[in-house]
Amino acid sequence: MTIHSSNGEHRFTVDVAATPEQQQRGLMFVRSLAPNRGMIFPYDPPQAVAFWMKHTLIPLDMIFIRADGTIARIATAKPLDETSVPSGEPVVAVLEIRGGRSAELGVREGDRVDWRR
């Protein structure tokens, strides 16, 4: 998958959490995540979603993606935090990457994400 931002293209290799079971587990219990790896959670139809970090051992950036491929919201979540992180609007996917990576790359709300569904 590729994120297109004002400073270039950023490519990620992602695992797809396609089933309800995969989406429930997500990146729980993962101890490290390479800089350009992540997990995508697709939703069809688009919907408002919320994530939390229960049993998630590493910080994550949650990138909420609209139906038109633009980034609606980016939230950096702390390990083991059970506070709900809402999308704020209907989304077609949520991309989780290493915490702080969006800021490192200069990825911002409104940038575009391309991925095969």
CATH code for position 72 = 2.60.120.1140
Once rounded to an integer, what is the mean pLDDT over residues 42-71?
A: 97
Computed on alpha carbons and rounded to an integer, the radius of gyration of the chain in Å comes to 13
The answer on pLDDT for 117 being more than 70 is no
Q: Which of 30, 97, 82 is nearest to 57 (CA)?
A: 30
Domain with 94 in it = 2-114
**Tens of pLDDT along 74-106?**
999 999 999 999 999 999 999 999 999 999 999
User: What is the side-by-side strand order in the sheet with 2-5?
Assistant: 8-11, 2-5, 112-114
14: amino acid identity, one letter: V
| 110 secondary structure, DSSP code | T
**Tens of pLDDT along 2-21?**
999 999 999 999 999 999 99
Residue 117 in tokens: 């569904």
The total number of structural domains in the chain stands at 1
